[in-house]
Amino acid sequence: MAKPLISVFTKPWTDPLPALAEKLAGLGFEGVELAVRPGYQVLPENVGTELPKAVKTLAEHGLKIPSIAGEIDEATIAACGEAGIGIIRICAPIDLDQGYRASVEGYRRKFDALLPALERAGVAIGVQNHYGTMVGSAVGLMHLLDGYDPRRVCGVLDMGHCAVDGEPVKIAVDIVRPHMNGLVNFKSAYHRRANGPELDADYVVHWTTHDHGGYNWRELVSELHRAGVEGTFCMPVEYSEQAGRKGQRMGDDVIPFLQKDIAHLKALIAEFYGEED
């Protein structure tokens, strides 16, 4: 079984791409999930011209782009196909004004309309579960993705969010495995009380390193290996500010935490996947 490639989501950094590529390669990554968003190196409106340049720049530093986080429109799908990028990762917010079921039906109509473009480009939409008012669990992904070929519409399992929702690793992997297309997220979180005991309890989700989260990374890698999952293990680089502060760490402030987590993930991959056959 092939060893998974380790990629990193570029959300924390808006550095020029050559400098960012050098930084991420130096941290030991083999690939990136490029943020194609306003304010980043490749914008939604210039994805057709700038994405190929980004692929070339990153390749010069030994980095692949297995996935991007961006829009699911025909222009982005075509650009990914031409650049050899397999997955466009999205999340699925729920519009509570219309309700959960109606929101899911709306996503499925959108996916259906894009299937011809996805087929032409050889690209997949990858839906990641996310806590809060979104499709947040493995069960939610199963419901949303039922009947789709994972080569075109797939699930991106994120156990950090599953753990916040209370799903165990073994159950989550078993549920999402038929919908996977090789992309899995690795990050960690737990519920932290945000106020004192004299008040009605208020809890927030705190993003942290592997050793403090709500699930065990070793168990996840073990289950993925047992299930025959190959492809890309992506690190979304989410670390909360210190307790009492709002927001997430951005830029190079994440590096000490990221170094700890990538070292742990590499050790787990070596333990369970070994060397490529």
Over residues 196-243, the pLDDT tens digits come to 999 999 999 999 999 999 999 999 999 999 999 999 999 999 999 976
Rounded distance, CA 135 to CA 179, Å? Answer: 15
Encoded tokens for 54? 């980004």
Rounded distance, CA 66 to CA 243, Å? Answer: 34
Task: Kindly tell me if the per-residue pLDDT of 40 is higher than 60.
Answer: yes
Q: How long, in residues, is the chain?
A: 277
Domains of the chain by residue range? 5-256
The b/e string for 195-209 (b: 16+ C-beta within 10 A; e otherwise) is eeeeeeeeeebbbbb
Specify the pTM.
0.96
Rounded distance, CA 9 to CA 250, Å? Answer: 12
Over residues 122-158, the pLDDT tens digits come to 999 999 999 999 999 999 999 999 999 999 999 999 9
Over residues 6-19, the pLDDT tens digits come to 999 999 999 999 99
In the DSSP assignment, the letter for residue 230 is -
Q: What is the CATH architecture assignment of 5-256?
A: Alpha-Beta Barrel (3.20)
Residue type, 44: P
How many alpha carbons lie under 13 Å from residue 240 in its C-beta half-sphere? 18
